[in-house]
Amino acid sequence: MKISNMFIISLYLCALTGSVSALGSTVTPGKLAMSGELIEAACSLDPNSRDIVVEFGDVSASLINRNDEGNITRPVLVRLTGCSVVKRGNDGSLYPYASVTFIGNAAASDPTTLLVSGEADGFGIRLRDSQGEILTLGQPSPGYELSETDNVLKFSASLVPVQKYIRAGEFTAVAQFFMDYH
């Protein structure tokens, strides 16, 4: 009787193992990962403004040599969403303005000009605020007044000479930017 009980228990365990194996073959494992960053800011940067691409296309070197910024200027738009004017503290003052600081490799001869890299050489990119004032890399822009809704901060980027001779070819330039609310 002990042998038959052991046999029945063994068969039962084998049957359970087979059921678990069958169940395992119909289940697809998955993973859900979530992340983000909680920030203390008056606005959120629109996801489409996190990596802004400014396309200059084909530009004649003669336009840069003439320093004709009007023909080689492109808009740069920084979109802010969910803005609220945040109180600064017990004194009741508010943060109604945003400044943007652009940081990148500046030309040795001109801290307002972002150097380009690639085949092309002898020119750079100059950034201006919405009033046309030239921005210095590493320095905050004048304050843009914020509204309680979404905001668009308007800048422009222009190709400007930094050397006497300009070499044609493809170019890129990268600048990081940071928002400051005051």
Q: Is residue 155 over pLDDT 90? A: yes
- Indicate the range of 45-49, 52-56, 57-61, 82-86 predicted with least confidence: 82-86
Please answer whether residues 96 and 179 qualify as being in contact, where contact means their C-beta atoms are separated by less than 8 angstroms. no
71 found inside a domain: yes
Q: Name the more confident of 40 and 119.
A: 119
In percent, how much of the chain has pLDDT > 90? Answer: 51
Beta strands in 82-173 (DSSP E): 97-103, 106-107, 110-115, 117-118, 123-128, 144-145, 151-161, 171-172
For the segment 121-135, the average pLDDT, to the nearest whole number, is: 96
User: According to the model, what pLDDT value does residue 93 have?
Assistant: 66
162 found inside a domain: yes
User: What pTM, to 2 d.p., does this model score?
Assistant: 0.74
For the chain, the domain total comes to: 1
Please report which confidence band the pLDDT of residue 46 belongs to, taking 50, 70 and 90 as the band edges: very high
6 found inside a domain: no
For the segment 11-34, the average pLDDT, to the nearest whole number, is: 61
14 found inside a domain: no
| Top-ranked range on mean pLDDT: pick from 6-10, 85-89, 171-175 | 171-175
pLDDT tens for each residue of 163-173? 989 999 999 99
Q: How many residues does the chain have?
A: 182
76 found inside a domain: yes
CATH number of the domain encompassing residue 167: 2.60.40.1090
136 found inside a domain: yes
User: According to the model, what pLDDT value does residue 122 have?
Assistant: 93
83 found inside a domain: yes
Print the domain residue range for 143.
Answer: 44-181
Residue 154, number of CB atoms within 10 A of its CB = 13
User: According to the model, what pLDDT value does residue 66 have?
Assistant: 83
Q: Is residue 149 over pLDDT 60? A: yes
One-letter identity of residue 156: S
